Structure 1
Amino acid sequence: MMRVHCIRSIYRTLLPLMQENEKLYQLPGSELLLVLSGPETEGRLQHMVNILNSRQIHWNNTGLDMGYGAAWGHFDGNQETLQPLLGQLSWLAEQSCAHHHVLALDSREEMVSGQTTKQVLLLNTIRTALDQGDLLLYAQPIRNKEGEGYDEILARLKYDGGINDPG
C-alpha cells in the first residue's frame, strides 16, 4: 500500500511538469519510466528530480524522506534494444541517487554497458528457458539428526545442453 501511495504522489507531482504527449510508466519494483519528447530533456528531468527531492511524501501522518535519481538516454525504436537500454538506465539512475544529479547514458554508455550486459544476457537466458519449459525444480531434503526438517526447492535451468547452476 505504501509503495502505491508513493508512486501516486510522484505521479501527481510530475504530471503538471509533463507535456501533452509525454508518459510515465511504472516498471516492476519501484522504478518509473518517464518518456519525455520535448526540448531540453536533461534540464527538464533535472528540474523534476529537484522538485521530488525537495518534497516529502506523507504516509500515516509521517513524512518520508525519499531520495530520487534519474538517468536519460535516447531510444532508437528498436524493440530488441529496449530491455538493455532500460537496464543501463536503471543502473545509471541508481548511481545518480547519491548526488541527485541526472546522468546521461549517452556520455557513459561504455561504462554502463559492462555493468548491465551480463545481467541482461542472464535475464534473456532465463526468459528463453521459461518459454521453452527448461526450468527444472528439485526438492532437497534438509533434516536434523532426528530426521525433522523441511524440503528446500532448488531451481535449475537447462542451458546449452547442460544444467546451469546458480553462482
Structure 2
Amino acid sequence: MVLMGVAGCGKSTVGVMLAARLGAAYLDGDDLHPSVNIEKMSRGVALTDEDRWPWLTRVGEALIKPEGPLIVGCSALKRAYRDHILETADAPVTFIHLAGTSDVINARMNDRKGHFMPPALLASQFAALEPPEINEKAINVNIDRPLVSIVDTIVAQLEGMENGK
C-alpha cells in the first residue's frame, strides 16, 4: 500500500497507526529521497519531475516482494508517478489518498516541527496533485477528523475492497 497526498496530510502519522492496526511495516518515503532532493526542498525549492523519478523508483523497489505487509508513505501526486511506482513494483499496489483542504493542511504544517518541507511549498504540491481516478486501485479518505477515525475509515474501505464491495 502507498499512503499518498500532499506534504503535511499525515502520511507518517497515519502510516504508523495503520501499520500497527494491520500488522504491517511502515516505511516513510521521505527516507528514500536522495539527499539532493531533501536539500532542495529544505531551501524552499519545489522538486521537478526529473528530481522525483529516482525517488519514485526507490519507492517502487521497496514494494517488490516485501518480507510482509508494507505501507509506504509517498506523495505520489500525479497519475504518472503512481503508474511509475506500479511498473517498478510489478505487483498490485493500493493507493490511499489522504485528502484535505489547503487550509487544514497548512495549519498542520505550521504546527509540526523538524521537517524539511516548508509550508511555502504547499501550493506547489496542490498544483501538482492529480487525485486518484476511478480506474485506479485507490481509496480517498478525508483527513479533517480525528486520527483514529481516519484509520478506522481506511481499514473499513480496505476490508470492503477485499470483499468486493
Q: TM-score, normalised by structure 2?
A: 0.28
With a CA cutoff of 8 Å and minimum separation of 6, indicate the structure with the bigger relative contact order. 2
Q: Which has the higher helix share?
A: 2
Instruction: Give 1 or 2 for the bigger CA radius of gyration.
Output: 1
Q: Which has the higher strand share?
A: 1
